[in-house]
């Protein structure tokens, strides 16, 4: 399992516009009219962020950023770091300061930490399901617009690995690319598409190609890709694909994708692939239940 990654500059930069947008949605140009009506400006208070269910913590630093942007005088004390195991009643953080600020930032902070903890918690379940095999769990680009850096951070917190961050940092030749290549190319083989991509990007950029059958795998291996994505193959075909790869090109990494669920991921891993990718880690994660408990 990966060591827990630090919440770094890239995550902080990614969170800033999301926090501004979230607060603007809540406050517009008017502010928190309920809190202003009921709470005196000089009234202070303290609160704990508390888990209501079992899971993995992620996003506590984003929650802290929310209050840094809302009121720099709020004191935010982390009781746990991202990656910590949570259970009902676990105290995540303690906050002290203006009661108005605490009430105004409550939902925004919880939205971030609950969603990211949900991603980390679901990822950990997948990681645990393949323990003892060679397979590692990877995410995909199926992320909420604007949230990719944070959601992929949460995947790492849960023990998973990141696939490419975007279209810019890796070649992934999918079925629609092959369809377009067959229209425009003279040589219609998958191998020729891999070779053309290699000529275009050079030796330092990883190239992965998607295949749907053993025949396509043979074709793809002729082009010498770095990775092959085995799309929606049943475990019988996955085992066959591993045998073909082992015999022909043992240096090529195999990734299974499509139809991956918690019910199926262990069987997929036992087929012998090195990587299993699933969009469910981000697009189907249920927010973890965390709440403010007032002291």
Q: Write out pLDDT tens, residues 158-177.
A: 999 999 999 999 999 998 99
CATH superfamily of 9-128+285-294: Quinolinate phosphoribosyl transferase, N-terminal domain (3.90.1170.20)
**Lookup: tokens for 216:** 């396509």
The catalytically annotated residue of 13, 134, 174, 295 is: 174
pLDDT of residue 181: 82
Report the pLDDT averaged over residues 60-71. 97
Report the pLDDT averaged over residues 240-268. 97
The catalytically annotated residue of 125, 142, 182, 198 is: 142
Our answer to whether residue 226 is catalytic in this structure is: no
CATH value of 132-283 in 3.20.20.140, 3.20.20.70, 3.40.1110.10, 3.40.50.1110:
3.20.20.70
pLDDT tens per residue across span 26-41: 999 999 999 999 999 9
The catalytically annotated residue of 68, 94, 231, 289 is: 231
Our answer to whether residue 293 is catalytic in this structure is: no
- What is the rounded distance in angstroms from the CA atom of residue 78 to the CA atom of residue 61? 8
Cβ atoms of 209 and 190 closer than 8 Å: yes
The catalytically annotated residue of 107, 141, 182, 270 is: 107
pLDDT of residue 3: 60
Our answer to whether residue 174 is catalytic in this structure is: yes
- What is the rounded distance in angstroms from the CA atom of residue 94 to the CA atom of residue 294? 10
The catalytically annotated residue of 82, 139, 208, 210 is: 210
Our answer to whether residue 142 is catalytic in this structure is: yes
**Residues carrying CATH 3.20.20.70, the chain:** 132-283
Mean pLDDT, all residues of the chain:
96
- What is the rounded distance in angstroms from the CA atom of residue 15 to the CA atom of residue 4? 19
186: pLDDT strictly greater than 90:
no
- What is the rounded distance in angstroms from the CA atom of residue 106 to the CA atom of residue 232? 42
**Rg (Cα) of the chain, in Å, rounded?**
23
Residue 240, CA atoms < 13 Å, CB-side half-sphere: 12
pTM of this prediction? Answer: 0.95
Our answer to whether residue 107 is catalytic in this structure is: yes
- What is the rounded distance in angstroms from the CA atom of residue 245 to the CA atom of residue 218? 8
pLDDT tens per residue across span 143-155: 999 999 999 999 9
6: pLDDT strictly greater than 90:
no
257: pLDDT strictly greater than 80:
yes
2: pLDDT strictly greater than 70:
no
**Residues carrying CATH 3.90.1170.20, the chain:** 9-128+285-294
* 21 contact partners, CB below 8 Å, separation of at least 6: none
53: pLDDT strictly greater than 90:
yes
* 229 contact partners, CB below 8 Å, separation of at least 6: 172, 174, 208, 209, 210, 211, 255, 256, 257, 277
pLDDT tens per residue across span 69-119: 999 999 999 999 999 999 999 999 999 999 999 999 999 999 999 999 999
138: pLDDT strictly greater than 70:
yes
pLDDT of residue 1: 44
- What is the rounded distance in angstroms from the CA atom of residue 36 to the CA atom of residue 240? 66
Residue 230, CA atoms < 13 Å, CB-side half-sphere: 32
- What is the rounded distance in angstroms from the CA atom of residue 186 to the CA atom of residue 212? 22
Q: What's the distance, Cα to Cα, between the start and end of the chain in Å?
A: 37
């Amino acid at each position: 399992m990966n060591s827990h990654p630090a919440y770094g500059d890239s995550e902080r930069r990614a969170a800033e516009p999301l926090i501004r947008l979230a607060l603007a949605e809540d406050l517009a140009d008017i502010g928190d009219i309920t809190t202003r009506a009921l709470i005196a400006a000089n009234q202070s208070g303290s609160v704990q962020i508390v888990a209501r269910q079992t899971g993995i913590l992620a996003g506590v630093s984003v929650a802290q950023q929310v209050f840094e942007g809302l009121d720099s005088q709020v004191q935010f004390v982390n009781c746990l770091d991202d990656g910590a195991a949570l259970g009902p009643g676990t105290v995540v953080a303690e906050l002290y300061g203006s009661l108005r600020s605490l009430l105004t930032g409550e939902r925004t902070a919880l939205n971030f930490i609950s969603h990211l903890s949900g991603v980390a918690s679901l990822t950990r379940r997948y990681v645990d399901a393949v323990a003892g095999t060679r397979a590692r769990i990877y995410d995909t680009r199926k992320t909420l617009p604007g949230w990719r850096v944070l959601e992929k951070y949460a995947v790492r917190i849960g023990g998973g690995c990141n696939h490419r961050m975007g279209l810019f940092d890796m070649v992934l030749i999918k079925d629609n690319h092959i369809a377009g290549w067959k229209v425009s190319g003279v040589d219609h083989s998958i191998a020729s598409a891999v070779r053309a991509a290699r000529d275009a990007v050079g030796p330092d950029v990883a190239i992965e190609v998607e295949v749907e059958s053993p025949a396509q795998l043979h074709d793809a291996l002729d082009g010498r890709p770095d990775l092959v994505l085995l799309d929606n193959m049943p475990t019988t075909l996955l085992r066959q694909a591993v045998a073909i790869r082992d015999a022909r090109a043992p240096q090529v990494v195999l990734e299974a994708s499509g139809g991956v669920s918690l019910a199926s991921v262990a069987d997929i891993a036992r087929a012998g692939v090195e990587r299993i990718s699933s969009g469910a880690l981000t697009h189907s994660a249920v927010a973890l239940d965390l709440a403010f408990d007032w002291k």
